[in-house]
Structure 1
């Protein structure tokens, strides 16, 4: 029943349209499960995938291996997962380790989520940040590496080649 309700919520929200993040060039600095700090501003020059997810969210878990592979396969992309749920940090760290996810994961407060991002209306919610630090796209619901690659290809500025 929960899966059906979550699926209906995602579909309904998708029909309502999706607004971009609160700020055109959001900031984000979070402590990861590995005890490091992920700072969005230090990722300039790369595409950043900011993925809000939860351990109980089936579509979130389904996309994690694909996001991990995308992160590992591309030098121009960084993925960060933001666990948007009430869970103990040790439990989250154990969960992530069992899933084999290699990209950084941070636990965010559901009552005070990162200020420069909209509160997720459904999970997963994913932001694609361009190399200049601006929101290029926001996705509500599951995505694939192909979806991300397509957006990156359409939004990338071709570089000039010397002749």
Structure 2
């Protein structure tokens, strides 16, 4: 019986240690915890935007369509001005963003290069590798085509 208790204790400790090793992506614009499982085994499109960015306003409906139509692509946004909490939620709502928005910039985790131009979009493959940095307004179709081309190059 003691060996069994010890075994269960070790399994519990291992589970806690593994959970502590998983990256913390913080919260989205609605205050919900972001888990890597939300885009695991899919292409991840990370788009940097701001309310004052004219091309961002034009691009967001395309990203909404991409997020809603493609099972193998997950779309996430990052506010360039580092808005947090209610200010971020209101800004995302004003921009009609229908996909998740990171409250904390994930650039460090994904080793994203800094972009001084907006909008900026990064394509990250299902293995977590940054495959493209797109600058300027994008369309859903252009992103799909770029991902298809990157898959062929793999």
Q: Alpha-carbon deviation of 1:30?
A: 3.7
1:85-96 equivalences under 5 Å are 85-87=81-83, 89-96=85-92
Which residue number corresponds to residue 10 of structure 2? none
Q: In the TM superposition, what whole-angstrom CA distance separates every residue of 1:50-109 from its partner, at most 9, and x where no partner exists?
A: 011111111111100110111100111100000010545322212222333220012346
Change over 3 Å in CA distance of 1:42–1:98 after alignment to 2: closer
Contact 1:52 1:81 in 2 (8 A): yes
Q: Alpha-carbon deviation of 1:29?
A: 1.9
Which residue number corresponds to residue 155 of structure 1? 150
1:114 aligned to which of 82, 107, 110: 107
- How many residues in Structure 1 have an aligned counterpart in Structure 2? 129
Structure 2: how far apart are the matches of 1:119 and 1:44? 24
Q: Which runs of 5+ in 1 are unaligned?
A: 1-26, 158-163
SS in 2 for 1:81: strand
- Coordinate RMSD, CA, aligned: 2.4
Which residue number corresponds to residue 126 of structure 1? 121
Which residue number corresponds to residue 135 of structure 1? 130
Which residue number corresponds to residue 79 of structure 2? 83
SS in 1 for 2:71: coil
Contact 1:84 1:107 in 2 (8 A): no
SS in 2 for 1:66: helix
Structure 2: how far apart are the matches of 1:74 and 1:106? 20
Larger relative contact order (CA 8 Å, sep ≥ 6): 1
Contact 2:49 2:78 in 1 (8 A): yes
Structure 1 residue 103 and structure 2 residue 99: aligned?
yes
Which one has a bigger Cα radius of gyration? Answer: 2
